[in-house]
Amino acid sequence: MSGLQDLSISGLILVLLLVSVSLSPDPAEPEPGCHLYPFNVTIKSDQRGTCRGSQLIQACVGYCESSAFPSKYSVLMASGFKHNITSVSQCCIIRKMQKVRVRLFCGPRREEIEIFTAKSCSCDMCRLSRY
């Protein structure tokens, strides 16, 4: 009977290893939630591209928790029974920004400008004034 127990324990360990390997995150997939995402931006001084430059900057992308639920009776009363669902939403926002210098090539001469990039992100209350 001990040979059968050893075989079943070995099989259980193999199954656990397979499950743990299949649950590990794929490095090619983006992280869930709200996080920094790099992208390249090209800046031109005019439509002809007299001065031109590129820079890698960061944006905040992803999602945050939101929920909706039936309103409390006091909310229903105060709204004349029109506000029957209450929602709580959060948006992925830029928490901190930083300036980066972009070198522009203008034929033989060079110029620099400063633009903003996201430094950190977080989930916060959604505000219409930001969008």
Angstrom distance (rounded) from CA 118 to CA 131: 15
* Residue % of the chain over a pLDDT of 90: 50
Does domain 28-126 bear CATH number 2.60.40.1120?
Answer: no
Tokens of 60: 């905040």
- What are the boundaries of each domain within the chain? 28-126
Angstrom distance (rounded) from CA 123 to CA 131: 15
Is this structure's pTM higher than 0.75? no
Residue-wise pLDDT for 69-105, tens only, equals 999 999 999 999 998 998 888 999 999 999 999 999 9
Q: Which of 116, 113, 112 shows the shortest CA–CA distance to 99?
A: 116
Residue-wise pLDDT for 52-72, tens only, equals 999 999 999 998 988 899 999
